[in-house]
Structure 1
Amino acid sequence: MAEQLGFDLPSRTALGRDAFFVSPANAVALAMIDGWESWAGGKLVLTGPESAGKTHLAHVWAEMSGARIVAARDLTEAEVPALARGHVAVEDVPQIAGDPQAETALFHLHNLVLAEGHRILFTGEASVAQWGLSLPDLKSRLQGTTAAVLEAPDDALLSALLVKLFADRQLSPKPEVIPYLVGRMDRSFAGAIALVERLDAASLAQKRPITRQLAAQVLDNLPEGA
């Protein structure tokens, strides 16, 4: 059988429920998303490290509930009434910290969505107390919101993440590559994404399949701290 070589194909990120691998690191958060109809106060905060699956879970919830997804930085006061007619997921809330207009718009969206009897989901890294929000009313309401936390990846989740990242790039590494990487790579979601990008680039540049040997070469040449 011919070995698979890398091709410069577009990466297609799978964000459906079937593509979300469940492990002890995310099972509680997923269960809370599944129980969205009974969220305390009609709202939930979803937190976790960079690339931990917050966007993926937001899309899973949107598919289940019919919610709209909006980036916090793109939210404007004029959009609030229309958005509040249904469920809403607001992503990357920390990105608007210190922006009075954006924080005010989010505060009004929070209040109007709940007043209309709908559900609202907020996402961001770390805890709400570390989001740096400056509007006291918004900060207090989010700090009082139940939080679902995505933990750092265990071996099972890291393995599944690597498989998914390779699949998104339409790549099929040799079977021994995944366990080899898991035992030696930076144990983070962001590290997994960066590593797969480098392996894809190396495979293309050298016109070689992704093998343990290529993986060792890429790991040996990672920048310090990567």
Structure 2
Amino acid sequence: MNTQLPLAVQLAPELSLRDFITGNNGQLLDALARLARGEERDNLYLSGPEASGKSHLLMGLCALGQEQGLHCAYLPLKDLLDLPADLLRDMEQPDLLALDDVHLLAGRNDWEEALFVLFNQRRATSRPLVFSADRGPANLPLTLPDLRSRLGWGASYRVHPLDDRGRRELLRNQARSRGLIMDEQAVNWLVSHHSRDPRQLIRLMNELDQAALATKKARLTLPFVQQHLAA
């Protein structure tokens, strides 16, 4: 564990590859699982819009890798950019390193240079890096063209956001994990009348879970859901 980077090892315990709704991301999930099991050593690059599940995938990857006995680290760059870039100096040691939101480094010369050095260090020891960004590596407005080219080495996957069918599956799974039964009418109403962002749907499920506990209800009917989300 890198004592300089406490954020690098704070994984959300509820996020795993097992509970990620696959949708059109089957090949990507297979690639991540192989990497976590140590069957692959190449870098991976994930791109996709906000709320497509990139952070979930990176944290789930590290969690599975740790289960397999790997030393893994997850770096949420949006939380680290106010710190000195040289904190990347010692990050060549983890077996598996995931860097979330790498597009945020664009134009930050100190961070770009530090990542360039880190990339070369880890490549020399065959320790894979996994990146996420809001766009593909060729479209990153980086100051260092050599860094852009290196980010394009290895496999690149586009993360496909959930469609309505996937959102319904997410809600059913969230209810089931809480010991609740959600009527299909309630599922359809939530998908049709609330945010399509999976994070917001999970937040709504947390609210409904609290309401169900308070009222000792195990079934989430449409009237119950409408009543408690309108309160």
Q: Given the two structures, how large is their TM-score scaled by the length of structure 2?
A: 0.69
Corresponding position: 1:113 with 2:122 = yes
Q: CA deviation at 1:194?
A: 2.5
Which is bigger in relative contact order (C-alpha 8 A, separation at least 6)? 1
Structure 1's 216 and 131: CA in aligned 2 closer, same or farther, altered over 3 A? farther
Shift of 1:204: 7.0
CA 70–166 in structure 1, closer or farther in 2 if over 3 Å, else same: same
Does the aligned pair in 1 maintain the 2:74–2:100 contact within 8 Å? Answer: yes
Partner of 2:203: 197
1:99 CA drift (Å): 1.1
Which of 85, 93, 102 in structure 1 is aligned with 2:111? Answer: 102
Q: Distance in 2 between matches of 1:193 and 1:175?
A: 21
Structure 1: gaps of 5 or more residues: 1-11, 222-226
SS in 2 for 1:147: strand
Q: Does 1:60 align with 2:60?
A: yes
Q: Which residue of 2 aligns with 1:84?
A: 92
Say if 1:199 and 1:214, in contact at 8 Å, map to a contact too: no
C-alpha change, 1:13 and 1:69, in structure 2 (3 Å) is: closer
Q: In the alignment, is the contact (CA less than 8 A) between 1:85 and 1:116 conserved in 2?
A: no
Q: What's the secondary structure of 2:223's corresponding residue?
A: helix
1:30 aligns with 2:29: yes
**Counterpart check, 1:211 vs 2:221:** yes
Q: Is 1:69 the counterpart of 2:79 in the alignment?
A: no
Give 2:47's aligned residue: 47
Q: Deviations over 1:68-89 (max 9, x none)?
A: 1112342744333421012211
1:15 corresponds to which residue?
15
SS at match of 2:46: strand
Q: How many positions carry a matched residue from both structures?
A: 202
Q: Distance in 2 between matches of 1:13 and 1:186?
A: 26
**Whole-Å Cα distance in 2 between the matches of residues 48 and 150 of structure 1?**
5
Q: Which residue of 2 aligns with 1:9?
A: none
Which ranges in structure 2 are unaligned for 5 or more consecutive residues? Answer: 1-11
- Secondary structure, aligned partner of 1:78: helix
Root mean square deviation of aligned Cα: 3.3
> Separation in 2 of the partners of 1:49 and 1:38?
26
Greater Cα shift, 44-53 or 116-125: 44-53
Q: How does 1:136-175 map to 2 (within 5 A)?
A: 136-165=145-174, 170=178, 172=180, 174-175=182-183
2:6 aligns with none
Q: CA deviation at 1:187?
A: 7.8
Indicate the SS of the match to 1:104.
Answer: helix
Work out the CA distance in 2 between the residues paired with 1:14 and 1:122. 21
1:166 to 1:104, Cα distance in 2 relative to 1, 3 A? farther
DSSP 3-state at the match of 1:52: coil
Q: Structure 1 residues 21 and 138 mapped into 2: Cα distance closer, same or farther (>3 Å)?
A: same
CA–CA separation in structure 1 for the residues paired with 2:59 and 2:208: 31
Hey, what's the Cα distance between the residues in 2 that align with 1:141 and 1:186?
A: 40
How far residue 35 of structure 1 moved from its aligned partner, in angstroms, is 2.8
Percentage of pairs with the same residue: 24
